[in-house]
Amino acid sequence: MSRLVVISNRVPLPDKSGAAPAGGLAVALQAALEERGGIWMGWSGKSTSGRETSGIDIREQGKITYALVDLSRKDVEEYYAGFANRVLWPLCHYRLDLTDYARKDMAGYFRVNRLFAQQLAPLIKPDDVIWVHDYHLIPLAAELRQMGLKNRIGFFLHIPWPPADVLFTLPVHETIMRGLASYDLVGFQTRHDAENFAGCLKREGIGKELGQGLFEAYGHVFRADVFPISIETAAFAEAARTSRRHALVGRMRQSLAGRDLIIGVDRLDYSKGITNRIEAFERFIVNNPDSRGRVTFLQVTPKSRSEVPEYGDMQRMVAELAGRVNGALSTVDWTPIRYVNRSIGRSVLAGLYRMAQVGLVTPLRDGMNLVAKEYVAAQDPENPGVLILSRFAGAARELDGALLVNPYDTDAVSDAIARALSMPIEARRERWNQMMPHLLENDVSHWCESFLKALAGHGETKGDERPA
């Protein structure tokens, strides 16, 4: 079996005992690397003070080599905070109003991708299979090809892919499309994203579809297909089942004093629709006076990307809104919203999901959204809660037992909350049973294996995320 080489912006390093860090993606990729042997390369997370980028730190652990590249402060500003997170991220989430194009950032993005390729190329053996992750690294294959590498190279995009009219506002869209066409396999989260990509290829006559998921563009034939990412379903369900032993889970239950719990869990990001969600919860309480004092909404939101100005604005907006709603609705013995700005360990999180009657997952646009899948996996099969899910999350294509909502429609989300909280147990079980077997079968290991199989040229082209 060929070695596997994974490249992602950040590398989740195992702890001293060799255990993979929490999170399904890290666990699944680490398992694939352990099995085949290989390399995981990415940015070390450190920025050097000088303008020049410094070297690479190589660490061996079992059959895996971790290769960590330091970047200069300028690199981080331009490649990461600039082009990746102030251009590609908002653009791919259909937020043209938040994109901020600057030539120097675009140059920095391509420069860092070339640097990654230069650092990586000497470590590669001829039959290694290379798997590049996410929007930070789109041009990497083109750079590696220019250096003469002939290996199989695959790319997986964790975020949505926009329609042509949105993408073509990007001044360097053609270089980005050329970059994607340099891979042997390009993986998307949903059929919708893959169709948008095909539309971008066709619009300007850049490429054509050859059928069976194959495309030709810039003189290269490659495959683009759908690989919906998932979670370690069985392990997460088990963590939820045994979560009672955590003191924090017990304290949470006690603090609820019999009230219903609605849970929201997201990185603090404008794509997650947190302000719309708080407004919908407020509307629900106002429209349903009986719910006053009887429902708690827990929103767990660690801060992220604080170096990007839009995220600082977002932090203030969410905090102000949660404060205003609490000020308006609270009574001396009830606070409707508990807003927590921190990360929670996986097993406690699983316990909180299980305790919640409603999982409120309402992104304005999301590649997949793993929280939706985690919420379903964590439920008690005898007495499951209800998932309310945005139709604009990739997960909506698979989780057909959820109450699907348009997150921009505050009244509709408020109505969905009322419906979820009063749903009879039989209906809840039926909805959960519609989703859980699918999640058990299509877990993150399945995702990883099907991508690697397709990259090796043995996979079948899929029709959609979920068989009819």
Judged by the rule CB under 6 A, the positions of this chain that interact with ligand ADQ are 23, 158-159, 229, 265-267, 300, 302, 343-344, 349, 366-371, 374
For residues 8 and 53, which CB has a smaller minimum distance to ligand ADQ in the complex? 8
User: Does residue 429 contact residue 403 with C-beta atoms inside 8 Å?
Assistant: no
What dihedral do alpha carbons 252, 256, 258, 264 form, nearest 10°? -90
Q: How far is the CB of 24 from ligand ADQ (least distance, A)?
A: 7
93: annotated active-site residue: no
For residues 89 and 110, which CB has a smaller minimum distance to ligand ADQ in the complex? 89
45 Rama class: left (phi>0) / alpha (psi -120 to 50) / beta: left
Q: How far is the CB of 276 from ligand ADQ (least distance, A)?
A: 16
For residues 229 and 436, which CB has a smaller minimum distance to ligand ADQ in the complex? 229
Q: Provide the token pair at 335.
A: 């606070």
Q: How far is the CB of 397 from ligand ADQ (least distance, A)?
A: 12
| DSSP per-residue string spanning 344-403 | --HHHHHHHHHH-SEEEE--SSBS--HHHHHHHHTS-TTS--EEEEETTBGGGGT-TTSE
Q: How far is the CB of 430 from ligand ADQ (least distance, A)?
A: 25
For residues 2 and 230, which CB has a smaller minimum distance to ligand ADQ in the complex? 230
Q: How far is the CB of 373 from ligand ADQ (least distance, A)?
A: 8
Alpha helices by DSSP H, listed for 298-339, are 309-329
User: What secondary structure, in 3-state letters, does 262-305 show?
Assistant: EEEECCCCHHHCHHHHHHHHHHHHHHCHHHCCCEEEEEECCCCC
User: Does residue 355 contact residue 253 with C-beta atoms inside 8 Å?
Assistant: yes
The one catalytic residue among 133, 136, 158, 192: 158
The one catalytic residue among 266, 366, 415, 443: 366
Q: Provide the token pair at 130.
A: 């290379």
User: Does residue 93 contact residue 271 with C-beta atoms inside 8 Å?
Assistant: yes
Q: How far is the CB of 228 from ligand ADQ (least distance, A)?
A: 9
409: annotated active-site residue: no
What phi and psi, each to the nearest 5 degrees, are found at residue 443? -90, -175
For residues 23 and 163, which CB has a smaller minimum distance to ligand ADQ in the complex? 23
| DSSP per-residue string spanning 218-244 | TTEEEEEEE------HHHHHHHHHTGG
Active site residues: 158, 366
